[in-house]
Amino acid sequence: MTEVDARGLSCPIPVVETKKALKAHPEGVCVLVDAKVCVENVSRFAAAMGYNAKATEANGEWKIEISK
């Protein structure tokens, strides 16, 4: 699964990077972020595009697995 490292980036950049990655890899991507608001925004974007988003948190960083 393709990984997007959006740690340290402010919204809407993680959403923009996720959109680019999903265009190139429509089967799904994994997004790394370090802010709860980014988790919410990326997950909401994924749902709007018809994807499932599962976020897991470890040490203040989140991994969002996006798939169909």
What is the band of 9 on the pLDDT scale with cuts at 50, 70, 90?
Answer: very high
pLDDT tens-digit readout, 18-59: 999 999 999 999 999 999 999 999 999 999 999 999 999 999
C-alpha separations of 36 from 26, 39, 52 in Å: 24, 5, 18
Residue 50 Cα to chain centre, angstroms: 14
Residue 67: closest CA among 5, 25, 13, 12? 25
Set out the domains of the chain in order of their start, with CATH numbers: 2-67 (3.30.110.40)
- pLDDT the model gives residue 8: 97
Question: Strand pairing of 28-33 and 2-5?
Answer: parallel
